[in-house]
A and B are shown apart, each in its own frame.
Chain A
Amino acid sequence: MNSARTTTVATVVRVSTEQIAGPVGQDARFNEYVVPELEVLYRVAYSITRNKADAEDLVQDTLLRAYRAIDRFDGRYPRAWLLTIMRNAQVNRVRRKRPELMHDPDETMSRVADESADAADAEAQLMDQTLAAPIELALASLPTKFRSVVELVDINELSYKEAAEVLGIPVGTVMSRLHRARRNIRQHLESSPVEE
């Protein structure tokens, strides 16, 4: 499993860091594959947790896990790899916080997300956006599980597959939620008065 670590240092320094991550390659690979994705990770974490402090925490957790696992990463699709790690980290965090809710991870995540964005929070957010565009209000009025998919795909530009990875749901569910959410936004926009 972890053969790279048990290789002697002498061997490691002779081998290209591209091929084997030893104590030397680990940092290089971390900087190459993980650090460039920090911003995406933070945005996605925020979409999942709906809370700045939790988002930062979740990214830190993800970074630590990624660092530990980087020698086993094959270098392809770093973003998808990191999103899977983030998803696992989130499931773990939720489990630690509320063990009684662990029947369905998807359900649990959306419930916790719903709770963390409580009414007061949502209202404060709306008050912050006194000049918010109609589209923002339409988005804010969506239930969390629909809003998260829109945020991940339309705002953070994840693929369907990446969004599915992060939310731990099938790609088909991403599609149906996303498409329903956009239809809903469209209705919202068409029914709200146009302000000049």
Chain B
Amino acid sequence: MAKKVNCTEVARRLQTYLDGELEGDWKERVQAHLDDCVMCGLEQDAFSAIKADLSALPSSPPAESEALQRLRDFSARISQEASS
């Protein structure tokens, strides 16, 4: 049975938890606390929303496809030149 944690301990680990990077039994302890505690649950919602908004942003600059195509061509040339 995992030891109970308080709000301060959860606040310190909340973002790591949301990133799926919390290790050991901390993951379950934080999870258990979040299921019970309204205040920490609201914090969780706030940071989840921010993370979701961020991950929906375009991940690279415009014209990415052209640059990527050039890099693909470049990769193909590396192999060709090395083997010829």
Contacts and interface: CB of A to CB of B under 8 A. Distances in A.
A complexed with B: yes
B15 A38 contact: no
B82 A67 contact: yes
A139 B57 contact: yes
Contacts of B71: 38, 41-42, 56, 59-60, 63
A115 interface: no
Interface string B1-32: 00000000000000110010100000000000
Contacts of A175: 15-16
Contact of A186 (B50, B55, B57, B60): B50
Contacts of B83: 23, 27
A139 B61 contact: no
Contacts, number: 91
B20 to A, nearest CB: 9
Interface string A40-74: 01110010000010011001100110010000000
A157 B51 CA distance: 11
Nearest to B64: A42
A38 B47 contact: no
A38 B74 CA distance: 11
Interface in A74-112: none
A30 B60 CA distance: 24
A123 interface: no
A155 B68 CA distance: 18
Interface string B59-84: 11101100110111011001100110
B53 A157 contact: no
B79 A154 contact: no
Contacts of A23: 82-83
Nearest to A161: B21
B51 A35 contact: no
Given A42-B64, A46-B61, A60 B54 contact: no
A5 to B, nearest CB: 12
Contact of B60 (A42, A157, A178): A42
A133 interface: yes
Contacts of A34: 75
Interface of B: 15-16, 19, 21, 46-47, 50-51, 53-55, 57, 59-61, 63-64, 67-68, 70-72, 74-75, 78-79, 82-83
13 contacts: A27-B82, A30-B79, A38-B75, A42-B60, A55-B67, A63-B78, A67-B79, A133-B57, A135-B53, A155-B54, A155-B59, A178-B15, A185-B54
Given A52-B67, A67-B82, 5 more contacts: A46-B61, A63-B74, A63-B75, A179-B15, A186-B47
